[in-house]
């Protein structure tokens, strides 16, 4: 009962009238702000306003994780963890808190939208989650989340508004959906090390739900030319590093499909004056871990898998442990070697993780960890299946 419906329109693209902020507008915004213009509440970092001189270039670490998909069983667990009074999603994520919070910038993927403070809340097939999920993500150490998925319109424009309102209250930045046309025009600009990092997010579809009337900007839909244009605009707005989150792929398929491979090649080949327009691609949606690969010199994570989800049933009708397996991507960026060059990934790592649907807890399975050997071995095999080890990807702790 927990599987999501299979839709034949995988890979469908739609044009959405979204225009990113101009260079003048982007440069006027204070560093360390969300796409809504308020402090993102992440780790303490210097800003241009508080520093008398530009600091020496300093690199940063970026951590990214997969789909947060609160099924009914997850919601019940959060209720129990709150002692029956409200919902607490932090305990189920406590296993990765030290890893996530140690990063300069931590990015998650919020698969579902939120309901009101008093519910009602639902799991599969149309998800409406408690807004307390946002507070749990913030408590774990996340700074920003992608919010474009095939479930973004499960509760229409109201669901988007409630979700982003909860993110703002928690101090989380967000990318991929918007409450207003003005909000849709601004990328999520974050500060890590001495870099400004833009996060952009897109989804292949919205499960057949049409965009809300008069709101073609409500959800970013996947389109190659659109993504490249947005990335270039983010660069003009002052972004040193551009990260693209994409909700794509074929559910329950370990290998990336042709749409993923083709789009990854096109996005990583795009450049301006010899500098790549996109510095990292983070994939979600397939339920299962997929490979990492360095394409045209840029790391692509085809799919991180489900970080939080109930016990998953595949298309054959059986419980499938892969639906609770995922990887954590950790990338260390160094400042450019010369003006006009890109910020380079000098260290790339993955950490296997497993969400135990009996305990309703996530467990990192990095080097030296014990238990869940079956999950660690499968995740590692899939992640490295496209030769990423030769490009320098290693398993981290």
Q: Residue 81's pLDDT band (boundaries 50, 70, 90)?
A: very high
Q: Is residue 51 one of the residues assigned to a domain?
A: yes
pLDDT at 38 over 90: no
The per-residue pLDDT for 201 is: 98
* pLDDT band of 368, cuts 50, 70, 90: confident
As for how many domains the chain has, the answer is 1
Structure confidence by residue, pLDDT tens digits, 299-328 = 999 999 999 999 999 999 999 999 999 999
**Residues near 16 by beta carbon (within 8 Å), at least 6 away in sequence:** 211, 216, 217, 219, 220, 221, 223, 226
Domain assignment present for 6: no
Residue 11 belongs to a domain:
no
Query: By C-alpha distance, which of 280, 188, 184 is closest to 237?
Result: 188
Closest among 190, 115, 99, 110 to 151, alpha carbons compared? 110
> Phi and psi dihedrals of 355, rounded to 5?
-100, 110
Instruction: Work out the pLDDT band at 203, boundaries 50, 70, 90.
Output: very high
- Can you tell me the mean pLDDT for 199-215? 97
Task: State the residue range of the domain holding 327.
Answer: 23-395
Strand partners, 174: 145
Please give the Cα distance from 149 to 296 (Å, whole number).
26
Lowest mean pLDDT among 13-22, 177-186, 216-225: 13-22
Overall average pLDDT of the 204-220 stretch: 97
- Mean pLDDT (the chain, rounded): 89
* Length of the chain in terms of residues written: 397
Please check whether residue 1 lies inside any domain of the structure. no
**Domain harbouring 102, CATH code:** 3.60.21.10
What are φ and ψ of residue 332, in 5° steps?
-100, 120
For residue range 171-193, what is the model confidence (pLDDT) as tens digits? Answer: 999 999 999 999 998 889 999 99
**111 lies in a domain?**
yes
Q: How would residue 109 be classed by pLDDT, with cut points 50, 70 and 90?
A: very high
- The answer to whether residue 7 sits within a structural domain is no
What per-residue confidence (pLDDT) applies to 282? 99
**Residue 188 belongs to some domain of the structure:** yes
């Amino acid at each position: 009962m927990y599987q999501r419906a299979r839709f034949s329109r995988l890979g469908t693209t739609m044009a959405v009238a979204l225009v990113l902020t101009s260079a003048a507008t982007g440069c006027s915004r204070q560093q360390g702000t969300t796409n809504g213009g308020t402090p993102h509440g992440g780790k303490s970092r210097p800003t241009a306003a508080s520093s008398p001189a530009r600091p020496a270039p300093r690199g940063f670490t970026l951590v990214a994780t997969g789909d947060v998909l609160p099924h009914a069983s997850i919601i019940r667990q959060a209720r129990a963890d709150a002692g029956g009074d409200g919902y607490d999603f932090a305990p189920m994520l406590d296993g990765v808190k030290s890893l996530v919070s140690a990063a300069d910038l931590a990015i998650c993927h919020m698969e579902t939208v939120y309901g009101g403070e008093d519910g009602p809340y639902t799991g599969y097939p149309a998800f409406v989650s408690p807004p307390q999920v946002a507070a749990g993500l913030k408590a774990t150490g996340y700074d920003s989340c992608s919010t474009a998925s095939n479930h973004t319109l499960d509760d229409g424009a109201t669901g988007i508004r409630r979700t982003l309102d909860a993110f703002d209250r928690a101090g989380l930045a967000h990318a991929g959906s918007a409450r207003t046309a003005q909000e849709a025009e601004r990328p999520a600009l974050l500060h890590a090390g001495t870099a400004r990092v833009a996060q952009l997010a897109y989804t292949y579809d919205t499960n057949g739900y049409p965009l809300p009337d008069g709101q073609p900007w409500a959800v970013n839909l996947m389109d190659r030319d659109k993504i490249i244009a947005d990335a270039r605009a983010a660069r003009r707005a002052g972004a040193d590093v551009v990260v693209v989150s994409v909700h794509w792929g074929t559910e329950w398929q370990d290998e990336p499909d042709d749409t993923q491979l083709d789009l990854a090649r096109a996005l990583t080949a795009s450049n301006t004056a010899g500098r790549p327009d996109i510095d990292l691609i983070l994939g979600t949606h397939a339920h299962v871990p997929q490979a990492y690969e360095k394409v045209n010199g840029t790391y692509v994570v085809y799919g991180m898998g489900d970080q939080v989800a109930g016990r998953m049933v595949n298309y054959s009708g059986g419980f499938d442990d892969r639906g609770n397996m995922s990887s954590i991507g950790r990338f260390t960026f160094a400042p450019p070697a010369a003006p006009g060059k890109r910020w380079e990934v000098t260290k790339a790592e993955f950490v296997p993780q497993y969400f135990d649907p009996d305990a309703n807890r996530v467990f990192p399975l990095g080097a030296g960890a014990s238990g869940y050997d079956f999950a660690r071995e499968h995740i590692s095999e899939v992640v490295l299946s496209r030769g990423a080890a030769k490009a320098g990807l290693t398993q981290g702790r």
